[in-house]
Structure 1
Amino acid sequence: MLAKLEQAATAESRSTELVLMFAGHSLAVAGARAALRLA
């Protein structure tokens, strides 16, 4: 039981990391586009 909960928690934090990475990447791309427009 506990092992299953740990597995679920690990999967949850991994997907959260992926979402944060993707959001950070999207922000970086948007920032680069804005900088290019202003340049």
Structure 2
Amino acid sequence: MSKHSANALQMVLSAISYQLSAISYQLSAMGLWPGYLRCF
């Protein structure tokens, strides 16, 4: 795998994990998600 594609994959993965943490934060703010799972 070239360095460029590895870099792009890393960016995609970090964007996905950011989205998931934002979603879980919103759910926990609405009381639909346990607060201790917020770190995931």
Task: Settle same-fold status: TM greater than 0.5.
Answer: yes
Q: TM-score, normalised by structure 1?
A: 0.76
Give, in whole Å, the separation in 2 of the partners of 1:27 and 1:13.
21
Higher relative contact order (CA 8 A, sep 6+): 2
Aligned residues: 32
Q: Does 1:7 align with 2:4?
A: yes
Q: Percent identity?
A: 9
Structure with max Cα Rg: 1
Q: TM-score, normalised by structure 2?
A: 0.74
Give, in whole Å, the separation in 1 of the partners of 2:27 and 2:10.
25
Q: Which runs of 5 or more structure 1 residues have no equivalent in the other structure?
A: none
Larger helix percent: 1
Q: Which runs of 4+ in 1 moved over 6 A?
A: none
What is the CA RMSD across the aligned residues, in angstroms?
1.7
